[in-house]
Amino acid sequence: MDKTNAGKPDTVDVRERILDTASGLFYREGVRAVGVDLVVAAAGVAKTSLYRHFRTKDDLIAAFLKREDEDFWRVWGEVADKHRADPAVELDAHMAWIAERVARPHYRGCPQLNVAAEFPQADHPARLVATAHKTELRDRLLGIAQRLGVARAETLAGQLAVLINGAFVSGPILSAEEALALLQGAARALVAAAR
């Protein structure tokens, strides 16, 4: 039963069920192709429940992207923490988990890039989350580039961001082994050229 009163213990469960359902649909089908009615039906909740937790569909899309963002940075942080002492090894390790990600079955690309492509308006709530994600990626790559001690760290960070984002959109045509070899090989070449 859908209990959505604010004081009820399963309010969070309803919100999570809606977000889980919407996230899967948005990722598989695209956010513009998925209407609120489909989310409500698939989640088995009342439309009023959806709007109680997410004021608009745009808010639901932004919540989906924020969840994806948190997952991405959680993995990034775990990898970074293991390799803080050696930025070259850390960069290699990031390329490895990203290669694994893009080679997953049913991978449809980076959710942030996918949504940004669907919403060209720079001030759209989902586009703002996507832009912040890509800015953070470049900033973190800049930190690695600076720790590597290269002359033009900003340039290297930009090149690495283009490499990673290129891998995200190339996922459907890459095997895990090829993705790993391409990402690590290209990253190493860019670092060597920057030195």
Q: Which two tokens mark 14?
A: 């309803």
Stated pTM of the model? 0.84
Task: Given CATH 3.40.50.170, say whether it is the number of domain 1-54.
Answer: no
For residue 11, what pLDDT band results from cuts at 50, 70 and 90?
low
For residue 161, what pLDDT band results from cuts at 50, 70 and 90?
very high
Which bin fits 158, alpha (ψ -120 to 50), beta or left (φ > 0)? alpha
| Residue-level pLDDT at 10 | 62
What 3-state DSSP class applies to 110? coil
Q: Which two tokens mark 58?
A: 């745009």
Q: Are 46 and 4 in contact (CB under 8 A)?
A: yes
From the candidate CATH numbers 1.20.1740.10, 1.10.3720.10, 1.10.357.10, 2.60.120.10, the one assigned to the domain spanning 58-194: 1.10.357.10
Between CA 121 and CA 107 the distance in angstroms is: 25
Provide the residue ranges of all domains of the chain, joining segments of one domain with +.
Answer: 1-54, 58-194
Nearest to 85 by CA among 154, 144, 151, 156: 144
For residue 1, what pLDDT band results from cuts at 50, 70 and 90?
very low
